[in-house]
Amino acid sequence: MNGAQQYRAMKTESASPHQLIQMLLDTLLLRIDQAVESIEMGNIERKSEYINKALLILSGLQEALDMEKGGELSENLEAIYVFARTEILDGSHRNCTETLKKIKMPIMTIRDSWQEIATQCID
């Protein structure tokens, strides 16, 4: 494991559950950007790698939902994650960067709201 990997591992191990979700959302957005860039560069192999990583992150986010305690909010987040998965798969299949760019907006909204919750809890 190199230095950067060790740092990420330490950061993940010491993160709160809230911070872990924040990191997943940030990384999901990064992987979508990387997939878009790979399509634009014609590197389909790399695109597939980033798409697969994005889909794994979405699965992790869905698994983290507590449908019993979260109620309607969890249901709404699950619907967004299912929609995001569908759009990411469609954008990947068609090599459509616009579809991938468009799906970032709802994810950014969730990420920003998640960050706001952390800010309010600290204040």
Q: What is the mean pLDDT of residues 70-75?
A: 92
**Would the pLDDT of 10 be above 70?**
no
Long-range contacts of 30-36 (CB under 8 A, 24+ apart): 31/57, 32/88, 32/100, 32/101, 32/103, 32/104, 32/107, 33/104, 35/88, 35/91, 35/92, 35/100, 36/97, 36/100, 36/101
pLDDT digits (tens, 9 = 90+) for 108-120: 999 999 888 877 7
Under a CB-based contact definition with an 8 Å cutoff, are residues 103 and 84 in contact?
Answer: yes
Q: Which domains does the chain have, with CATH numbers?
A: 18-122 (1.20.120.340)
- The confidence score (pLDDT) of residue 71 equals 92
pLDDT over threshold 50, residue 3? no
Euclidean distance between CA atoms 94 and 90, whole angstroms:
6
> Structure pTM?
0.86
